Amino acid sequence: MQLPAGVASEVIRLDRLGVLVADDHVWAHRLAVSLAEVAGEPLVFADESRAPEYNEYIRELCRTGGFAVRAYPGTVHSVLGARRLVRDGHAVACVPRSCAPLPGLRWIPIAEPAYYPWSLLWRANGETEAVRSIRCCARMLADRLGWTSCREPGEAPVTGLRAG
Instruction: Report the range of poorest mean pLDDT among 24-33, 59-68, 110-119, 146-155.
Output: 146-155
- Check residue 154 and give its pLDDT: 44
Q: Write out pLDDT tens, residues 39-84.
A: 989 999 999 999 898 999 999 999 998 998 899 999 999 888 899 9
| Under 8 Å between Cβ of 147 and 161 | no
Q: What is the 3-state secondary structure (H, E, C) of 126-158?
A: CCCHHHHHHHHHHHHHHHHHCCCCCCCCCCCCC
Would you call 19 helix, strand, or coil by DSSP? strand
What is the structure's pLDDT at 61? 92
> Interior CA angle at 13 toward 87 and 31, to 5°?
40
Report the share of the chain in percent with pLDDT over 90.
Answer: 64
